[in-house]
Structure 1
Amino acid sequence: MDVDVKYVHVGEAIDRRRNELGLSKSEFARRIGVPQQHVNRILERETMETKRLVRVCEVLDFNFFSLFCPVQHQISAYLAAVALEGNVHNIIGDAELASQLAQARSETESQKETVKLLKEQIDSLNAQINRLDSNLKDKDAIIELLKERR
């Protein structure tokens, strides 16, 4: 058999994705249409009925079925359009994912550098404000001294 099928603890995979999204258990329960008490049982189970897993995939915006066996990275546009109902963004290759990740990291680093420069600029402006306040107080003191001498 040439199919590479992996063992997946569905509940743990769902819980990881739920945590990645910052979704509370009660909100998750509401979105998949089950009572909140059932969420822990769902997350502890190794398996799940297909219909419910499809709903979870939709709610968490993740294809949990792809965890069981790798999807071919080379796929024709026609097959993608037919199999994915025109939504070719459901499955992307590792190279594309790595490229997107590198781009996101680059943007993050750029934004961190911008934040650092802005903080330095704020500190510089605060120091300038303090100097100007001090100069203003000195000016007021000089004016008072000159008034007293008259």
Structure 2
Amino acid sequence: MKLGERIKAIFEEKGIKITDFADQIGTVRQNVYRIFERESLDTDLLYKISEVLGHDFFAYYKIPGMANAIEFNEDISINELALLKDELESAKKEIEYLKKIVSMREEEKQLMESKYKTQQELSETIIKHLREKEKSYLSHIQSLNKGQK
């Protein structure tokens, strides 16, 4: 029996809709029909199909007399894969956290720049006002000095 036929038999047992199955393995309906006709598949695709259908299709590839060694290696690979998936999820969470920090730092920078600009404008306004007062006082002092003469 071809591998595709075995996949089709398990698929039919599960009673999954073809479009749902296609979505879950990352393809389109037409490709699922092609998979059912194939004798072999790419290991990544076969792994996805095994996960979705809950069936070990790799078991059909075991070599007689090496079953224990292959199962042991598959167990290691599955465990390693699970650890890598966990690490990937942790890394994704950390990246999202760091993106939020960067975003907050950018907002903080914009606020600081705005605050600096506002303080600079305020300082310029105060200096301008003080210069006008200084001119006014000097003018007043000069008029008082002229009046005393």
The TM-score normalised by the length of structure 2 is 0.50
Relative CO higher for 1 or 2, CA cutoff 8 Å, sep ≥ 6? 1
The TM-score normalised by the length of structure 1 is 0.50
